[in-house]
Chain A
Amino acid sequence: MDSFLSCNNITKQYTGHRALDDVSIAVPKGCIYGLLGPNGAGKTSLIRIINQITKPDSGVVLFNGEPLGQKHIKNVGYLPEERGLYKKMKVGDQAVYFARLRGMGKAEAGKKLLQWFRKFEIETWWNKKVEELSKGMQQKIQFIVTIVHEPELLIFDEPFSGFDPINVDLLKNEILHLKEKGTTIIFSTHNMSSVEELCDYICLIDNGKNILSGEIHEVRNQFKDSLMEIRIDRPLDNLSSILPAGVVVLEQKQNNIFNQINVQTPSEMVTNEIIEAIVPHARIISFSESLPSMHDIFVQEVKKNKP
């Protein structure tokens, strides 16, 4: 398989519980890969293994086809969920320090960092101490520090927590921009709408096992159960007699502007028939097939996986 990063049959045992149980994931190059799962599922354990913070008990991680090793550290950027900077250190010095640890030269790091600081319009913070900044400001710096050495693989663990909507958009744009440039991104979050918005692939981990993974549209298609969402301009009382046979009305909702009907169809083929059946009785405002949200899939699958 042509993946940039692949974890094959990873197992990790801690005292008392098995954090990862034969987990395999394949992350294609240049995509955003969503790593999902309830708290304590084993996401952080997997991320730590990819970051070489811990070693797996068994299994292999391949980075660009090679077994993961010390030399790949410079090619990885990691934004942990639990963020931290040295409080008493100046922002600029600190950013340069982390960049140097990831293999950049001092002068090069300073130059690149200053570009990023300008881009984010925070160059005035350079000589401030970290403790003088708000939490959100610190997160911004941590984001820059994570990406400044232009790694091929980026791992973001809840990157948007603590940000206001404007900064969330700023970060989202940067993440998408990095993807365009060919960076592979692993994105771990509990925010399902941002998963739908950003991710190309997802993997759902629960109880140390990979219970669902694949291309996000395929996953959502796999879970769709031919649900249609129809909005019309007036309420219809005798819906079940109007609609073709086999179509089940699940719900009818009403507000000032429209009436919404949720139906389940025996197959996608009947959509035109449904429209034709409604047209004589009411004006159709919109008609769409509703894909299950990642939220629903998450909840459903994790519940199903409960022993």
Chain B
Amino acid sequence: MNPIRIIIEREYLTRVKKKSFIVMTILAPLLIVAAYSLIIYLMVSDATASKKNITVWDESGLFYKAFSDNDQYTFAYIEPRDLDAAKEIFQQSNSHSLLYIPKTQSVIPETANIFSKSQTGMSMKSYIKNVMQKEIERIKLKSSGVDDETLTSIKSGNVVVNAIRLTEDGKKEERSYPEIRMILSMVFGFLVYFVIFIFGAQVMNGVMQEKTNRVVEVMVSTVKPVQLMAGKIIGIALVGLTQFVLWIVFTLIIMGVSSVFLSGFLQGADVSQIAASQPAMGVNIDALTTDMSQAQGENIQYIMESVLSVNYGTMLFAFFIFFIFGYLLYASLFAAVGAIVDNESDTQQFVLPITVPMIIALVTAFRVPDNPDGAMAVALSMIPFTSPITMMARLPFGVPWWQLLTSIVLLVATVWLITWFSAKIYRTGILMYGKKASLKELWKWVR
């Protein structure tokens, strides 16, 4: 049997059998789904929470009809003697909050206080603020001669900006949904950076352990050093791929299971349906909330559409290509570093120069969405040391196929060169003990 296969088998099995691998494999999808569920929950929980009673003392007398009941809040107006009395009434009621709009010197008050038995939610605060502003605006406009009818006709609702991209031949046009592309750009850019670092560091530590444990002496009397290095790099790559495949599978399974539970919850929370089914109250405020709900419904639709607009096949394909070759590039460099040094504390000076291009790529990747076809982004997506990250960050925005191909060809060629170079350093380095290699010496090993 080919010794490389035996080495790959060992590198793979010892890592896959580790508790940390199993824990990570199961835990990560759970965390992803948990985070995902939490976001959904937070987004809809306001809408589904039980109605809150709000006691209103409008001392200014201007907002008498402004607050009316809706599906989230019911309002009760009181006329107490003073604030203490108001508080007393509030304490004895089952109200959640007391809204106090004081009388002020100016004609129109600009402050309001909310007293609550429990924490006041952000949404309640902004809702009250919104209503008050609208009402003040209405009053002000009215005083300058604009009647309600004119006002309603002026407020014509939402503006939707559609970003549409023309393909090069101009025949097809598609909405480009920049938001989702930006998220994917950052996620994939960071993911490539992350996996290269995690698994590259594993290669370095593996090599270093073999060297410091002196296992390497027996190993290289049995197999060629380059076989040992290749076996380790490939074995760890397979561990990474296994982890990814398992993550995808587990995430899908967990999402499948949890969506069964979530769906009931979500149905009850379909904001636009609730809003639409409610009889119109004929008041401005209700028109407003309906507007908001419709906008929210449109948002959800927009998110769905944009999520579906991305070509995930290409993304995944490119991810695996750039992951594998980016990993090979850096893993062989990390292997060389592991071979040069004698102990962990010496690694820093060699690891730093290797990681600088990656960090540059990562930092600039977050700027890519601003100008995905800019000179900087294009250049960095061609340079092999940064292309795995930058190209993945550019890809969601669409990259001409020839650029993608050039980038891959350059990367593969560089991987070939760097592996050869690293193998030479590795071969000499693993048998050197107690000597710290200078750059001059390293150059001698390569030649």
Contact = CB atoms under 8 A, between A and B. Distances in A.
A85 B215 contact: yes
Contacts of A48: 221, 431
A98 interface: yes
B287 to A, nearest CB: 68
Interface string B207-236: 001100111111111110000000000000
B3 A84 contact: no
Interface stretch (A75-83, A249-257, A259-267, A278-286): A75-83
B14 interface: yes
B214 A83 contact: yes
B211 to A, nearest CB: 9
B214 A84 contact: yes
Contacts of A101: 3, 6-7, 219, 222-223
A86 B222 contact: no
B1 interface: yes
B6 A80 contact: no
Contacts of A145: 218
Chain A residues touching B, majority SS: loop
Contact of B1 (A80, A89, A100): A100
A51 interface: yes
Contact of A53 (B1, B220, B433): B220
Contacts of B431: 48, 53-54
A73 interface: yes
B441 interface: yes
Nearest to B214: A84
Contact of A98 (B214, B218, B433): B218
Interface string A69-109: 00001001010101111111100000001101110000000
B219 to A, nearest CB: 8
B213 A85 contact: yes
B175 interface: no
A15 interface: yes
A52 B222 CA distance: 9
B444 interface: yes
B14 A88 contact: yes
Contact of B213 (A54, A86, A98): A86
B14 A76 contact: no
Contacts of A100: 1, 6
A48 B431 CA distance: 10
A51 B221 contact: yes
A98 B222 contact: yes
Interface in B158-188: none
B7 to A, nearest CB: 8
Contacts of B7: 101
Contacts of A15: 441, 444
Contacts of A84: 210, 213-218
B214 to A, nearest CB: 3
B38 to A, nearest CB: 37
B125 interface: no
B214 A102 contact: no
B222 A73 contact: yes
A286 B247 CA distance: 82
A145 to B, nearest CB: 8
B445 to A, nearest CB: 10
A87 B213 contact: yes
Contacts of A98: 218, 222
B223 to A, nearest CB: 6
A76 B215 contact: no
Contacts of B140: none
Interface string B1-27: 101001100100010000000000000
Contacts of B3: 101
Given A53-B431, A98-B222, A102-B222, A80 B10 contact: no
Nearest to B223: A101
Contact of A97 (B6, B209, B217, B433): B6
A101 B216 CA distance: 13
Interface string A37-62: 00000000000100111100000000
A73 B217 CA distance: 14
A73 B227 CA distance: 14
A80 B214 contact: yes
Nearest to A73: B222
Contact of A86 (B1, B215, B220): B215
B156 to A, nearest CB: 69
B88 to A, nearest CB: 70
A307 to B, nearest CB: 25
Most chain A CB atoms below 10 A, which of B210, B214, B218, B433: B218
A52 B431 CA distance: 13
Contact of A76 (B1, B6, B221): B221
A78 B14 contact: no
A97 to B, nearest CB: 5
A286 B1 CA distance: 62
Contacts of A73: 221-222
A145 B218 CA distance: 10
B307 to A, nearest CB: 43
A94 to B, nearest CB: 9
A112 to B, nearest CB: 16
A139 to B, nearest CB: 12
Nearest to A145: B218
A83 B216 CA distance: 9
Nearest to A87: B213
30 contacts: A15-B441, A48-B431, A53-B217, A53-B220, A53-B221, A54-B431, A78-B218, A78-B221, A80-B217, A82-B217, A84-B210, A84-B215, A84-B218, A86-B14, A86-B209, A86-B210, A87-B209, A87-B213, A88-B14, A89-B10, A89-B14, A97-B6, A97-B10, A98-B218, A98-B222, A101-B3, A101-B6, A101-B222, A101-B223, A142-B218
The 6 closest A-B pairs by CB, nearest first: A84-B214, A84-B215, A51-B221, A84-B213, A82-B214, A80-B217
Given A73-B221, A85-B215, A88-B14, 16 more contacts: A53-B431, A54-B431, A76-B221, A78-B218, A80-B214, A80-B217, A80-B218, A84-B215, A87-B209, A87-B213, A89-B14, A98-B222, A101-B7, A102-B222, A142-B218, A145-B218
